[in-house]
Structure 1
């Protein structure tokens, strides 16, 4: 994106990058003048495919760009949409609860899929929202065929690191996006040998200061919502991916969720840290299991008129 901007003078959007994964299709998109808001609440990542869409809920950072690696996973050849927090672009009102956020997102996904069966995925904080969406759908008589959570747990069941100030929120934001946090100290101006230091693109090559400030507020709000949220009972099986490098081995991850699920809690352990679960190679371990889950759900889907 940075290279296209500097050489061609074109502001490439995240959505354009998602929808055009090859150089040829991206060149065509640039020539046609594609434009969209990378902070849309419902962000299309892939709109083509015959099966029901997979809806991916953002982590605590509020953006769903982290799910782009799913587009390269074999077997997940269906539409993929990301759900992103309101307020990520500096506008809108932040959600007052996980339940309020879930209801808002259900309104959004019904724009592209009015009825089930639904397929929901969430990482970390996003898993709690996906679970809340699933229980709300079931209360309305809809079917949730797949509910998959990536290293996500109810706050009252596990000890988790708390986000208490803007600096911690900012660090967590860039970590979730897989971007280096921009350096702001005096050492960034000159190198220790007296010459001019190379600029550190960090995250501000993608996110400007105003956006970072807005997203920091989103992180703080989502952290507060997570601490106050108690899941309802989901009737169905739950697919849980566990980051073994940061998981407390004294706890059984299935047991943590069993009180909120009527059905199986199927656990897949991934040799990875929590904050790297949507990056390779973790996603290469998650992808085949998720693809099988989606494929099996499709095999049991009831045709609609």
Structure 2
């Protein structure tokens, strides 16, 4: 018989073991440890034990589902309008599908009791209260295609796909910025300044990225001396996998709309990649929709 309950402080070792039992995927950090889960999940200031629902059979953990919330519009507290079912995992058993269905129902009930109006399946971009750094890639991608059995449960219960996210990566060995007319003009107009991110932009930014090391490249207009864009990367650690890989993930690429200079985005991106390669970074990941990557 399967029973369902809220998270207990004694659960982390069994949840880590369940994670390690999952099929291999490029978007799932392995091997998982309790310390990794502590860092990316339990240590978050808004972690609610009631939102992490555990499925047990005869006292043994056979699955879990984790529901949470995104930020308020001011980015300074949690918002309750939209809930997110962050992650769902089960053992590979004959009744796994039935367990997933019941866990989904428990997670939805928890979120609706908190007053949410809409529910999102899978952490995506800014609506990602947990798991950044151990799931997905440089940004949270929603549901991984590597686990179609989970996607199917959401489809069967009325969830609709919004857009596919595409993860791209590039090894930086031998990277050189492109040279063309627009890049030559941009190089004369702009310069970039790298720095370690020591201060978060908001409470939510601190919650999402505070446990990660970040570097930021600011774009400055030589004519005014003012910043007009920035690119931010975070240290992805072992998530991309492979020995000897020093990986960074692009979390932000922005150039002010008022900066009407062709090639400004390309200059910022290429210059930041070159600086990263010179500092020993070997791989960079970016994520976007199929239309933007």
What is the TM-score with the length of structure 1 in the denominator?
0.23
Q: In proportion to residue count, which structure has more helix? A: 1
Structure ID, larger Rg: 2
| Higher percent of residues as strand | 2
